[in-house]
A = this chain, B = another copy of it.
Amino acid sequence: MTAATYQRVVLASRPRGEVQPDNFRIESAQLPELADGQVLVRNHYLSLDPYMRGRMSEAKSYAASQAIGETMIGGTAGEVLASKHPKFAVGDKVVGMLGWAEMGVADGATLRRVDTTHIPLSAYLGVVGMPGMTAWYGLNQIMMPKEGETILVSAASGAVGSAVGQLARLKGCRAVGIAGGPEKCAYVVDELGFDACIDYKAGKLAEDLAAATPDGIDAIFENVGGAGFDAALPRMNAFGRIALCGLIAGYNGDEVPIRNMRYMLTSRLTVRGFIVSEHMDLWPQGLGELGQLVAGGKIKYRETVAPGLASAPDAFIGLLKGRNFGKQLVKLI
């Protein structure tokens, strides 16, 4: 073991409104001695995900806020450099929650060894990882679409949304996405195979939604909230289901009032918020299915890769503004 110090990104201050670069600070840290049961991991990829915005605030959310001065939380994929845990050997590829750091020490129990023979390491942070499981859970446990039904998913070109639509298509559903800009929409339809994609930046959400969902909407996977969600509610069919996964439109503290709540009543909708990490019992099943679909080429995905640890803050800010295209990663090695 050579590296006694490593670089990491810590939370320097809590954002007021939009996240700014100076909310983060890069600093050096000392590696601790490896204790029994621990593993030293060099991270190859960091995962950047919208939920991290919530952790940066003090406001009540589903998870405790991130402490000032501590390493930014986050999923990571890397390689074992040293192990005092019987289940991990040097060279193993592992996924964990080491945060925005070049390396780190983790309890072996918090790591998962992954097989990169047929699936690239980075995909374990995306479609075969937490985002893929998020899509799988929301679709199968909340939306429960039947063949022939229409589903709508916002942030459709993103890590979660792209999986939702493709999984729904495999079930015989009509999959309609919402994304920002013609390039993303073309990708969602031409590459991912959605039946339609609505560009929310085109400024005619209601009209475009009506055209794309001639038989109404039976289930929504909501990542964004705000105007798109509000416009979709009146198009819901009776007994529709809404998986509430994210409300990125409001993550900076902007108010995003919902005016069409009455359709939750008149269309007898079921709306359920969820956090995939609370349903770990289903991960083996879900990740198994997703892994097979990815290895078999049945599900496509796209990544936006920012180079080097220092690029993480800007890449994260871009993610919150929708500048990424597919899964946002930071590549360290």
Contact = CB atoms under 8 A, between A and B. Distances in A.
A269 B243 CA distance: 11
A274 B273 CA distance: 18
A31 interface: no
Nearest to A230: B257
Contact of A268 (B258, B266, B273): B273
Interface in A96-154: none
A134 to B, nearest CB: 12
A294 interface: no
Contacts of A257: 257-259, 261
A287 interface: no
B274 A268 contact: yes
A180 interface: no
A323 interface: no
A265 interface: yes
Interface in A252-266: 255-259, 261-262, 264-266
A61 B262 CA distance: 9
User: Copy number in this complex?
Assistant: 2
Given A62-B238, A238-B62, A257-B257, A268 B275 contact: yes
A34 interface: no
A278 interface: yes
Interface in A146-166: none
Contacts of A275: 268
A180 B264 CA distance: 25
Given A270-B271, A271-B272, A261 B264 contact: no
A60 interface: yes
A244 interface: yes
Interface residues of A, number: 32
A258 B61 CA distance: 18
Contact of A246 (B238, B265, B274): B265
Contacts of A271: 264, 269-272
Contacts of A261: 225, 247, 256-258, 261
Contact of A265 (B258, B262, B273, B278): B273
A293 B267 CA distance: 32
B238 A264 contact: no
A262 B253 CA distance: 11
Given A257-B257, A259-B257, A270-B270, A265 B238 contact: no
A60 B233 CA distance: 12
23 contacts: A60-B234, A61-B266, A62-B238, A225-B262, A245-B265, A247-B261, A247-B262, A247-B265, A250-B262, A255-B259, A257-B258, A257-B259, A257-B261, A258-B258, A258-B261, A261-B261, A264-B271, A265-B273, A268-B272, A268-B275, A269-B272, A270-B270, A270-B272
Given A247-B262, A258-B258, 7 more contacts: A244-B264, A247-B261, A250-B262, A269-B271, A269-B273, A270-B273, A271-B272
